[in-house]
Amino acid sequence: MAQTSDVDIVIIGAGAAGLTAARTAMKHGLSFTLIEARERIGGRTVTDTSFGAPVDGGATFIHFADKNPWTAIAAELGIATQYGNWRRGGQRAYVDGVQEPEEFEMARRQGRNQMWELAADIDFDNDLSFAALVSRAPKPVQDAAYSMSRGAVGEEPERVSVADYIRLYEGYNLVVPEGYGTLVTRFGAGVPVRLGVRATAIDWSGQGVKVTTGAGDIRAKAAVVTVPIGVLKAESIRFTPALPRPVLSALDGLGMGALSKMILKFEGTRLDASPDMHLVEVASAQPGMSFEMWPFDKDVVVAWYGADYARRINDLPEQEAIRHMLERLVRIVGRDAEKAFRGGRRFGWSADPFSAGSYSYVKPGHGRARDALRQPVGDRLWFAGEAMAGKASMTVGGAHQTGDHAVEAIAARLKAGR
């Protein structure tokens, strides 16, 4: 590693991975510069307070909470958590605005169970997409696969690897009433960050690295690149020399889902729905999506929507997209929703240039891509983030783990060099 530089480490991106990398560098007494293209920290964890109460526009669940580092971090920071999963408030299902009979939910549950039974024998060497997995299965099983892929991964089922998804950690979830984004922001308090500074090029042709930004160059002995893979795949950062073929192949084997949220504010009515209930709507002309009613007893409804449908909605002007989503809710609960509506805000991650998607997924047959990206390049470039977190991928917990892992490895190499 270079012995002449501005700092030991340059960290690109102040989301969960970048903030963790910075705190680990501080623990080891390493000098660093942390830059963030946005005017805030937190990345894809962001808690919105536009309507007077904290609501997560990005990540919501502390997944696999028994292993997730954010469980302990929340406790250390005195931020309350509580048990919660997607169905913690119950749900009602609708087709074209008409509520389904209760027995349909039982059929869906059986379909989900059968889908996971079909997935039990899938591995990296015998991988399938979710669409291929259920191609000959009964309709309830197909419905389960399509709903899971679009709603949990945020992508169309023919594009998502079964082998990668089933290797992810399982376990109970926690939710954060103050907001997951609030938790990550508190964690990052005291970490020096240069906001509004965007990396455009990384030169790793010498012993160290040089990062070109709109605010000047930064030289360091090593770099930790934590930008989402959607940004890397869009080639928003130019690498000199070009990244090695194994890295490019790994990037090609990954994609970014489009799971998005829209916050809708209401006053004066609860629309015959209890707090935390999900109203799931499937329409003949539009894919399924879900309305989370009154999370944590707040006067908002959060629309969850994903895959290609989300990309279409996110490409619309914001007010047009909000009107579209309000109309879908009105079809379920009636015109009282329109009368009580007070405004909305969209978090359309697929249209966000700083993420280009919600979180990563693996394409069928590319199950080893995540592990390949975790390997250092030239002993001076490390990639970190949810996309390369193995069993913890697609989560804020995975991002934390990889940010810590990268700087621990750099610290060990610098110590050995001295």
Q: Are 157 and 271 contained in the same domain?
A: yes
Range of the domain at 144: 86-163+259-347
Q: Is residue 30 part of a domain?
A: yes
Q: Are 245 and 189 contained in the same domain?
A: yes
Q: Are 406 and 295 contained in the same domain?
A: no
Q: Is residue 117 part of a domain?
A: yes
Beta pairing, strands 7-12 & 32-36: parallel
The pLDDT assigned to 417 comes to 77
Number of folded domains that form the chain: 2
Q: Could you give the CA distance from residue 210 to residue 242 in angstroms, rounded to a whole number? A: 14
- 140-149 burial by CB neighbour count: b if 16+ within 10 A, else e? bbbbbbbbbb
CA distances from 156 to 128, 147, 256, 285, 311 (A): 13, 9, 11, 16, 11
Nearest alpha-carbon partner for 346 in 262, 290, 289: 262
Q: Is residue 55 part of a domain?
A: no
Q: Could you give the CA distance from residue 217 to residue 72 in angstroms, rounded to a whole number? A: 37
The pLDDT assigned to 344 comes to 98
The dihedral over CA atoms of 184, 290, 310, 329, expressed in degrees to the nearest 10, equals: -120
Q: Are 39 and 188 contained in the same domain?
A: yes
User: Final residue of a domain: which of 302, 322, 347?
Assistant: 347
Q: Which residues contact 168 (CB under 8 A, 6 or more apart)?
A: 391, 392, 393, 394
Q: Is residue 65 part of a domain?
A: no
Please report where in the chains the tokens 């990037």 appear, as a residue.
Answer: 251
User: Final residue of a domain: which of 316, 347, 378?
Assistant: 347
Q: Are 276 and 235 contained in the same domain?
A: no
Phi/psi for 404 (5° steps) reads -65, -45
The pLDDT assigned to 1 comes to 38
Asked whether the beta carbons of 23 and 191 are under 8 A apart, the reply is yes
Q: Are 113 and 245 contained in the same domain?
A: no
Q: Are 244 and 384 contained in the same domain?
A: yes
The pLDDT assigned to 5 comes to 67
User: Final residue of a domain: which of 347, 371, 406?
Assistant: 347
**CATH number of the domain that 275 lies in?**
3.90.660.10
**CATH number of the domain that 25 lies in?**
3.50.50.60
Q: Are 193 and 141 contained in the same domain?
A: no
**Counting every residue, how long is the chain?**
418
The pLDDT assigned to 265 comes to 98
Q: Are 127 and 266 contained in the same domain?
A: yes
Full strand arrangement of the beta sheet holding 174-175: 61-62, 174-175, 82-83
Q: Are 400 and 286 contained in the same domain?
A: no
Q: Which residues contact 87 (CB under 8 A, 6 or more apart)?
A: 278
pTM for this prediction = 0.95
The pLDDT assigned to 248 comes to 97
Q: Which residues contact 327 (CB under 8 A, 6 or more apart)?
A: none
Q: Are 233 and 190 contained in the same domain?
A: yes
Q: Could you give the CA distance from residue 229 to residue 253 in angstroms, rounded to a whole number? A: 11
Q: Are 200 and 332 contained in the same domain?
A: no
In a structure prediction context, what are the per-residue pLDDT tens digits for the chain, which is 418 residues long?
A: 334 569 999 999 999 999 999 999 999 999 999 999 999 999 999 999 999 999 999 999 999 999 999 999 999 999 999 998 777 888 899 988 899 887 777 888 899 999 999 999 999 999 999 999 999 999 999 999 999 999 999 999 999 999 999 999 999 999 999 999 999 999 999 999 999 999 999 999 988 999 999 999 999 999 999 999 999 999 999 999 999 999 999 999 999 999 999 999 999 999 999 999 999 998 777 788 999 999 999 999 999 999 999 999 999 999 999 999 999 999 999 999 999 999 999 999 999 999 999 999 999 999 999 999 999 999 999 999 999 999 999 999 999 999 999 999 999 999 887 5
Q: Is residue 354 part of a domain?
A: no
The pLDDT assigned to 418 comes to 58
